[in-house]
Chains A and B, each alone.
Chain A
């Protein structure tokens, strides 16, 4: 929610609890701001961590922003159960319908543009115009993937010309529940760039927000909750990436894992664990390669990484 007093940035008030004297209002007694309790987003609801734990989130200059839930292994498992429950319904909706839901996310975000610019500026230490560019790119990314939902099947599937009297048709299908470790360095555009492709094809997701800057992700949960996205399709957890990711990589009812937000050591550990039920693994880019440019054309890689190809044969003639 943007500040009620038009034009007045809310940022200084956010910092009051940190006791920064430079931020104290002077002349007239300022209205005391209502802080937001940031919560997880699981199964369409906003629970606190079942563990009752929180951790303090600061901005890029170590000033306190808020407390965020410190999700536990149990929260991770609950999120998996919610994602599994939502999979049948979400993967069964028409691609057109999924496209409209994703577009609705863009609409809702556009309305909360100022809020996200502020949160991204705080989280990533970006000046206003740069934060605005990030948020605008993120909104446009939802639009990009909204348009993909009913096109990817034609691009990667189709009829195969087999040498015999058969109709042979390959169709992409969502792989199932995908654990997504959101990038650590891009708390919002990176986050959107890894969530949207996963769900656009009908998968459901358990997302681990950037550890140090989870607030934009937790706020995104509020947007998703009001975007006609069925509960459980996206579940968002905040906390220690390694602590939450380990039970996700171990989980027998998770079909795939996106390791983007894992450092090299953790990524290796998780890839080994993921082999127990042969999860599809999207590895983080090797450290030698440049840091990902989240503004770049995303291509289709993240769409196809979490698709299965099903090929159906049927005799012709007769």
Chain B
């Protein structure tokens, strides 16, 4: 099953070769198109930078002030009731707000508990059950200059919670 991890390399390679070849066959100005698309992409970076700075500072202060740890500690009775290791609550709380933070924390959990232990397996599933939703909302809306979020933030957080509960149930019933 290890070969699955290298799947994206082959997909990336075939895309990087296949797309220009297909374009050339269809008579597209491949290089001109690439330059136009790439320069548009770089302009996007400038548009998303302010939103990224605002969100990273907010998340950094939330974590640095210990508010995240306090929230996770407050949730530890819930963890006990669910029969889940309290460390996993921190991972679940970190998941929607910080991609690198959650990945780093997962690496620590896998080292401490072992990747094939019950908490290690559940942590792996929780990490994969949702994406860094607040980052994606800031990135996608920031790229078109929209500052109102409508219902995206509560729905994304709810989806994260659903993913967490589903992870716990799936791991319990499959005895993973």
Chain A bound to chain B: no
Residues on A lying within 8 angstroms of B by beta carbon are none
Q: B residues engaging A (CB < 8 A)?
A: none
